[in-house]
Amino acid sequence: MIRGVRGAITVTKNDADEMVDNTKRLLDQMIDKNQIKPEDVAQVLISVTDDLDAVFPARAMRLLEGWTYVPVMCMKEITVQGALQKCIRVMMTINTDIAQEKIEHIYLEGATVLRPDLISNK
């Protein structure tokens, strides 16, 4: 079964180290909570808001052991008036037997406001 795993995190400033560190923290939690193995990942899409351009946040994925061959692409999030700023969003497409309602989507830092209905304390 193919499923999407969503996640988002904010940073405090347009800083390459902070962007990579926070993206890695987000990816680590997405992977851990959903028991994701790199060979089960079809693709990872990472978007950033217009105010973030210090680094490709996909660099964080290259810090994960075994994730060398997973396709990843970065892009700009569409600009919407009043939307959350300094935000990095991830959509990971995976092959899994986990039921859709059991997927754990991860929202950290200021991004918790995006989908409070999906945040769990598991």
Residue 62 annotated among the catalytic residues of the structure: yes
Both tokens of 81, joined, read 């008036």
Residue 69 annotated among the catalytic residues of the structure: no
Residue 77 annotated among the catalytic residues of the structure: yes
> Which residues, 6 or more positions from 21, have their beta carbon under 8 angstroms from its beta carbon?
60
Q: Over the stretch 63-114, which tens digit does the pLDDT of each residue have?
A: 999 999 999 999 999 999 999 999 999 999 999 999 999 999 999 999 999 9
Give the distance, in angstroms, between the CA of residue 98 and the centroid of all CA atoms in the same chain: 19
In this structure, which amino acid lies at residue 66? G
Strands 41-48 and 87-95: antiparallel
pLDDT for the residue 115? 86
pLDDT for the residue 121? 45
Q: How confident is the model at residue 116 (pLDDT cuts 50, 70, 90)?
A: confident
Under 8 Å between Cβ of 95 and 40:
yes
Q: Over the stretch 16-65, which tens digit does the pLDDT of each residue have?
A: 999 999 999 999 999 999 999 999 999 999 999 999 999 999 999 999 99
Q: Which of 3, 77, 87, 104 is catalytic?
A: 77
Residue 115 annotated among the catalytic residues of the structure: yes
Q: Is 52 exposed, middle or buried (0-12, 13-18, 19+ CB in 10 A)?
A: buried
Residue 59 annotated among the catalytic residues of the structure: no
Instruction: Enter the CATH code of domain 2-116.
Output: 3.30.1330.40
Alpha-carbon torsion angle 120, 42, 96, 46, nearest 10: 0
Q: How confident is the model at residue 122 (pLDDT cuts 50, 70, 90)?
A: very low
